[in-house]
Amino acid sequence: MRLFAAVRPSAEAIVDLRAALDRSAIGAPRLIPPDRWHVTTAFYGEVDERRRLALTARLARSAAAAGTGELRLAGAGHFGGSVSSGRFGGAVLWVGLAGDVDVLGELARACTRAGRGAGIELARRTFRAHLTLARLRQPFDVDAWTAGLRDYAGPGWPLDRLALVSSRLGPDPSYADLESWSLGG
């Protein structure tokens, strides 16, 4: 089973971002559907049942010990591709986060420790708080797109819940929350 841990923005935050994207004069690439928008705190990949059970127990403890706060979607950027040309495929377009990002970063580190403690091998990466909006397969003017959302600041929502999510890939990917926990007990 392919798993990741995530925080989900509020319905209000999703509606506001969707409206900002619709108002943007920049042509939009094919976006990930808003019902799949989330902030990944740790990606675990394929996990067998024994490790999933251990991970679930460790994430429950991590959530209970975690701090809470408030987040909001803010700004935009991209990963990958050639920044100098501004037009490329293979990039990831994202919207950033503001607010209690340090609390979110600590939660992400706890989710990573939970995975390693459950015996899951994880890539060593620095956590960068973002919500992926699109994965580009064709050339696209990423610089104009990110400039159009550079000053975006959405409404705040409480950072108060963590989910363990199963993902299925394919032509119509899907995500399903297997478990979720309130933060801070």
Domain of 32 in residue numbering reads as 2-182
Q: What integer pLDDT is reported at residue 83 of this predicted model?
A: 46
Assign residue 32 the CATH number of its domain: 3.90.1140.10
Q: What is the mean pLDDT of the chain?
A: 90
Three-state secondary structure call for residue 128: coil
Average pLDDT score over residue span 30-51: 94
Tens of pLDDT along 103-142? 999 999 999 999 999 999 998 889 999 999 988 877 777 7
Residue 139 to residues 56, 66, 117, 157, Cα–Cα distance (Å): 40, 41, 40, 34
Contact 13, 155 (CB under 8 A): yes
Whole-number percent of the chain with pLDDT over 70: 91
pLDDT at 30 > cutoff 50: yes
Q: How many structural domains comprise the chain?
A: 1
Tens of pLDDT along 134-176? 888 777 777 877 888 889 999 999 999 999 999 998 778 889 9
